[in-house]
Amino acid sequence: MREILPDIVEWLAEDETVALATVVETWGSSPRKAGAKMAMTPGGKIAGSVSGGCVEAAVFEAGVETLKTGRPKLLHYGVADEDAWQVGLACGGTIDIFVKPLEQAFFERLRGEIQANQRFAVVTVLQGPDSLLGREILVGENGEVTEPLRDGLVEIVIEKARQAMAERRSQRISLSPGMETTQIFIEVINPPPTLVIVGGVHTAIALTSIAKTLGFHTVVVDPRKAFGSPERFPHVDRLIQSWPEDAFTLIDLDKETAIAMFTHDPKIDDPALKIALNSPAFYIGALGSPQTQEKRRRRLLGEGFTTEQIDRIHGPIGIEIGSETPEEVALAVMAEVVAAYRRSNGGSSK
């Protein structure tokens, strides 16, 4: 959702009506996963993707239809279906997509939560009584909700949403309140992961650009004013011109954080590493040759760190792609960071 926010905001400002399509379940080799979104307007504007290009044309038509009727629609495409072949879903998977008109008041609440970098869940009713079909509520991490659904249902929804947030996994669930089955989709929206770069070197300039493109919150730490300057990093989300011992007190180094050391200077990198190794950061990387890494290991062992702790360091940093330029090094590092992030969230790095 985060990546299509600017387009939707722009369209609403122009008094456009908007339909929103969301992938709610996939099987097999479907190219997009649950939660992937596509927004569209009757005039042909499109943002986002629900299938990597396979079914977008058909979904667009369905979206425009929901704007005319005001009624949400659950779409299903499978490789065995004639319709699927016509729209191009020949990749061996199946995909369910829920399409509905965008409700502006709810969107503004959603947008506020995203901009506040909160973790929350959006619960959408996919199937059930007409009075509930397409209804959406926000559920916060502590179980607070924007509005009730129905007696006997909201408590179940809160429980399921909190469970999904704990698992960090969007999911489709069938409920049976009373005699009528209600099907919901719980979309978990997490704060963006953070990439902390220690050292405002040339590679860091390229790395922050790539990281921001991939949706990471970027922080650069460097006490050296010539390297960690606003002129060098006008695009970074946060620039801290302090030594790591002071800078890291200003940053929440949680399990959504990656840390990359680039100064090649033990006076800066080592203090940062000592803090990073005692944090739950999902990734810790350090620039340097195998010889430099071995010297670093010996220093950290002398400081009392265990082999298991030191083995958390990715060094030499980045996957092996034969990098030569700073931009290629940045690409290799970002690929390694993304792989670690997906593994930490229970996904695959492949």
The answer to whether position 59 is within a domain reads yes
The answer to whether position 323 is within a domain reads yes
The answer to whether position 185 is within a domain reads yes
Q: Quick one: 126 and 57 in the same domain?
A: no
What CATH number is associated with residue 250?
3.40.50.720
Residues 58-79 have a mean pLDDT of 89
Report the number of distinct structural domains present in the chain. 3
Least confident of 112-116, 229-233, 334-338: 112-116
Between residues 180 and 82, the one the model is more confident about: 180
Residue 265, pLDDT score: 87
Q: Quick one: 222 and 280 in the same domain?
A: yes
The answer to whether position 46 is within a domain reads yes
Least confident of 114-118, 178-182, 193-197, 291-295: 178-182
Residue 85, pLDDT score: 44
The answer to whether position 349 is within a domain reads no
Range of 182's domain?
105-189
Contact of 263 with 199, CB cutoff 8 Å = yes
pLDDT tier at 147 (50, 70, 90 boundaries)?
A: low
Q: Quick one: 204 and 310 in the same domain?
A: yes
Q: Quick one: 91 and 109 in the same domain?
A: no
Chosen domain end from 189, 205, 221? 189
Residue 128, pLDDT score: 83
Q: Quick one: 183 and 231 in the same domain?
A: no
**Cα radius of gyration (the chain):** 23
Q: Quick one: 22 and 46 in the same domain?
A: yes
Least confident of 130-144, 192-206, 302-316: 130-144
pLDDT tier at 204 (50, 70, 90 boundaries)?
A: very high
Pairwise CA distance, residues 299 & 304, whole Å: 9
Q: Quick one: 198 and 326 in the same domain?
A: yes
pLDDT tier at 257 (50, 70, 90 boundaries)?
A: very high
Q: Quick one: 182 and 218 in the same domain?
A: no
Q: Quick one: 185 and 219 in the same domain?
A: no
pTM of the model: 0.76
Tell me: pLDDT of 177 over 80: no
Chosen domain end from 52, 77, 102? 102
Quick one: which of 331, 324, 263, 253 has its CA closest to 292?
Answer: 263
Residue 253: both structure tokens together: 């180094």
Tell me: pLDDT of 149 over 80: no
Least confident of 194-198, 286-290, 310-314: 286-290
Residue 349, pLDDT score: 42
Tell me: pLDDT of 157 over 90: no
Question: Dihedral of the CA atoms 272, 273, 277, 283 (nearest 10)?
Answer: 90
Q: Quick one: 93 and 117 in the same domain?
A: no
Residue 264, pLDDT score: 83
Residue 148, pLDDT score: 59
Ranges assigned E (strand) in 144-256: 171-175, 182-189, 194-198, 217-221, 238-240
Q: Quick one: 199 and 340 in the same domain?
A: yes
| Type of residue found at 113 | E
What's the sign of the alpha-carbon dihedral 212, 345, 263, 239?
A: positive
Q: Quick one: 77 and 141 in the same domain?
A: no
pLDDT tier at 91 (50, 70, 90 boundaries)?
A: low
31-68 tens-digit pLDDT? 678 888 999 999 999 999 887 666 888 899 999 999 99
Residues 116-137 have a mean pLDDT of 87
Residues 220-228 have a mean pLDDT of 92
Residue 150, pLDDT score: 55
Residue 84, pLDDT score: 46
The answer to whether position 350 is within a domain reads no
Quick one: which of 258, 325, 309 has its CA closest to 285?
Answer: 258
Place of tokens 């890494």: 293
